Amino acid sequence: MQGKVIIVSAPSGAGKTSIVRHLLDAVPELKFSISATTRNKRDYEVDGKDYYFITPEQFKERLANDEFLEWQEVYKDQFYGSLKCEVERIWKNGGTVIFDVDVLGGLNIKKFYGDKALAVFIEPPTLEELCNRLKNRGTETEESLKKRLDKAEYEISFANQFDKIVLNDDLKAAQQEMIGLVRDFLEKK
């Protein structure tokens, strides 16, 4: 049984994960598609809930077995990917899949599902504000911060390829706008 999918993409630090978490609380039929990644787990993250944390070798093996819907090598040996088995598991249980993915991954999923997918780009108010948000996380070195900001500028250039763009200059307003977009999409036949 094929259902619908919601894709939420943004540059790192734009607020997509905060918005997705709020959507999961507000719209009960949404079920989070847990991505696989080879990056290090942050202190507050849980394996099998936030991500499946695997080694680069395990990732490459699953890739060779065609287990990913989409994947990206975001930085050298730092892979992220959406597992096909996650989508199947969620649909089998009657849920609607929600993805929290990077920009290129989001566009790839949208191409795969077409009209069955709503792709939303979360836009930061400015690159300066994005820099402040990333610094406030306390997880970035100067080098990683520069990489993320350079990548963000590139990713923002793809915003117009998404179905909708939500400006996140006020998190509560962005969350409410997303709830409306998702409910409208799910009500369509």
118 and 6 in contact (C-beta within 8 Å)? yes
Domains of the chain, each with CATH number or no CATH: 5-187 (3.40.50.300)
Give residue 134's pLDDT.
78
30 and 8 in contact (C-beta within 8 Å)? no
Give residue 162's pLDDT.
98
Phi/psi at 139 (5° precision) = -110, 0
Give residue 150's pLDDT.
82
Distance CA 139, CA 186 (A): 36
Distance CA 53, CA 37 (A): 5
> What string of pLDDT tens digits covers the 189 residues of the chain?
579 999 999 988 788 989 999 999 999 999 999 999 999 999 999 999 889 999 999 999 999 999 999 998 877 889 989 998 999 999 999 999 999 988 998 999 999 899 999 999 999 988 787 777 777 777 777 887 788 788 888 999 999 999 999 999 999 999 999 999 999 999 987
Rounded to an integer, what is the distance from CA 70 to the centroid of its chain?
Answer: 12
Distance CA 171, CA 176 (A): 9
Q: Which residues contact 74 (CB under 8 A, 6 or more apart)?
A: 80, 102, 151
Rounded to an integer, what is the distance from CA 108 to the centroid of its chain?
Answer: 12
